[in-house]
Structure 1
Amino acid sequence: MAPGRATDAREVDEKHLPSNGPISKVPIWKKVLSVEGKRRGLILVILAFGSIWAFSDDAKHRYGAVKRASRVLYALVQCVRDYRYTLKSKGQDGDDWHVVLKACHKRCAERTLGVLKQNGSIFIKLGQHLSSMNYLLPEEWTTTFIPLQDHCPVSSYESISAMVLKDTGSPLDEHFDQFTKTPIGAASLAQVHLATMKGTGQKVAVKVQHPALEEWVPLDLFLTRTTFSIVKFFFPEYNLKWLSNEMESSLPQELDFALEGRNALRTKEYFAKIHNSPLVVPDVVWGMKRILVMENVFGHRTDDLGYLDSNGIDRDEVSAALAHIFNEMIFGDTPLHCDPHGGNIAIRKNDKRRKPNFDIILYDHGLYRNIPKQLRRDYAKLWLAVIDADENGMRKYAYDVARITDDEFPLFASAITGRDYMTATKSVVSTRSEQEKEEISGALGEGMLQEVILLCTSLDDEYHC
Structure 2
Amino acid sequence: MPPLDFKDFQEKLSTHFRPFHRSFQFWVRAVDVYTGYKVFQLRVSFVKDAKKQEEMWEVQHELAAEKIYATCADLGGFFLKIAQIIGKPDLAPAAWVRRLVTLCDRAPATPFDAIQPVLEKELGQSIGEIFERFDVDPIGSASIAQVHRARLRGDKNDVVVKVQHPGVQDLMMTDIRNLQAFALYIQKTDVKFDLYSVTKEMEKQIGYEFDFTREADAMERIKRFLYENNKKRPVLVPRVIRDMVTRRVLVMEYIDGIPILNLGDEIAKRGINPGGKLAAAAKQKILESLTLAYGQMILKSGFFHADPHPGNILICKGSEVALLDYGQVKDLPDKLRIGYANLILAIADNDPIKASESYRELGIETLSNCKDEQNELFKLAQTMFDTKLPPGVVMLQPFAEDSSIKKVAVQAFPEELFSILRTVHLLRGLSVGLGINYSCADQWRPIAEEALVRAGRLKDKGVKSRARQSGFFRRIFSQQ
TM-score by length of 1: 0.71
Whichever residue aligns with residue 195 of structure 1, its letter is A
Q: Which residue of 1 aligns with 2:172?
A: 217
| 1:394 paired residue among 355, 380, 386 | 355
1-structure distance, mates of 2:182, 2:397: 30
Aligned residue pairs, count: 392
Q: What is the deviation of 1:62?
A: 3.2
- Confirm or deny: 8 A CA contact 2:356 2:377 kept in the other structure: no
The answer for the alignment partner of 2:375 in structure 1 is 410
Between the aligned partners of 1:378 and 1:252, the Cα distance in structure 2 is: 26
Q: Indicate whether 1:62 and 2:16 are aligned.
A: yes
Q: Following superposition of structure 1 onto structure 2, how do residues 34-433 of structure 1 map, counting pairs within 5 Å?
A: 58-89=12-43, 91-95=45-49, 103-132=59-88, 134-135=90-91, 137-149=92-104, 151-200=106-155, 202-232=157-187, 235=190, 237=192, 240-278=195-233, 279-285=235-241, 286-301=244-259, 303=263, 305=267, 316-349=284-317, 359-403=320-364, 407=368, 409-417=374-382
Aligned to 2:475: none
C-alpha separation in 2, matches of 1:175 and 1:283:
18
Q: Which amino acid aligns with 2:417?
A: Y
Alpha-carbon distance, 1:449 to partner:
5.9
- CA deviations 1:347-400 (Å, max 9, x no partner) are 434xxxxxxx77432211111111223333333233333333444333322332
Q: Deviations over 1:183-236 (max 9, x none)?
A: 122222222111111344552111112224145223222332233344446546
The one-letter code sitting in structure 2 at the alignment partner of 1:461 is E
Name the SS of the counterpart of 2:325 in structure 1. coil
Please list every run of 5 or more consecutive structure 1 residues that lacks an aligned counterpart in the other structure.
Answer: 1-5, 8-55, 350-356
Between 1:437-446 and 1:191-200, the stretch displaced more is 437-446
* Cα distance between partner residues in 1 of 2:12 and 2:408: 40
Q: Distance in 2 between matches of 1:84 and 1:68?
A: 24
**Contact 1:330/1:336 (8 A) holds in 2:** yes
Code of the aligned partner of 1:415 = L
Contact 1:265 1:284 in 2 (8 A): yes
SS in 1 for 2:229: coil
Q: Helix, strand or coil for the counterpart of 2:392?
A: helix
Identity over aligned pairs, percent: 23
Equivalent residue of 1:446, what SS? coil
CA contact (8 A) 1:256 1:289 kept: yes
Corresponding position of 1:51: none
Listed one character per residue, the Cα deviations across residues 266-302 of structure 1 (whole Å, up to 9, x for unaligned) are 1122222234123332211131122110011223456
Check the 8 A contact 1:254/1:260 in 2, yes or no. yes
RMSD: 4.0
CA distance in 2, matches of 1:154, 1:194: 14
When residues 446 and 277 of structure 1 are mapped into structure 2, their CA distance, relative to the original with a 3 A threshold, is same
CA distance in 1, matches of 2:153, 2:299: 41
CA distance in 1, matches of 2:416, 2:134: 40
Relative distance call for 1:94 and 1:64 in structure 2 (3 A) is same
Give the SS at the match of 2:353: helix
Indicate how the Cα distance of structure 1 residues 439 and 153 shifts in structure 2: closer, same or farther if over 3 A, else same.
closer
* Alpha carbons of structure 1 residues 231 and 107: separation in structure 2 relative to 1, 3 Å: farther
CA distance in 1 between partners of 2:130 and 2:394 (Å): 60
Residues in 1 aligned to 2:398 and 2:32: alpha-carbon distance in whole angstroms? 29
User: Once the 2 structures are TM-superposed, how far is the Cα of residue 163 of structure 1 from its aligned partner?
Assistant: 1.6
Contact kept in structure 1, 2:312 and 2:323, CA below 8 Å = yes
2:305–2:329 contact (8 Å) kept in structure 1: yes
* Cα distance in structure 2, aligned partners of 1:235 and 1:442: 12
In the superposition, the TM-score normalised over structure 2's length comes to: 0.69
Aligned partners of 1:214, 1:439: CA distance in 2, in Å?
37
C-alpha contact (below 8 Å) 2:313/2:322 kept by paired residues: yes
